[in-house]
Amino acid sequence: MKNYTEYSDRDAELLKAKQEGKIDEATFNELRKQSSQGYFQPKADLNQFETLLGKLEASKIKQAGSAALDTRKNTYAQGLAQMMSNF
């Protein structure tokens, strides 16, 4: 369902069909439930979620590697600075 008006129109059609005896109470409730789920509940795309999660994990791994490299560079620079101060 694209918008609320479409959902509302569908709901009115179902109510009219129930009142006219075209569908029973159980069918009305099930169709109304399906209609509301289609409108109010977002569609989850598991493939897109997994792709985004993979990108996030790769980014975190890259950031951790970069942080470790920076730490090593700082350690080497501090050691070199200490040695130079001894002269």
Write the pLDDT tens digit of every residue in 15-61: 888 898 888 889 888 888 888 776 666 666 788 889 999 999 999 98
Q: Are 59 and 25 in contact (CB under 8 A)?
A: no
- Residue 1 pLDDT: 45
Q: How far is CA 38 from the centre of its chain?
A: 17
User: Domain ranges in the chain?
Assistant: 1-43, 45-87
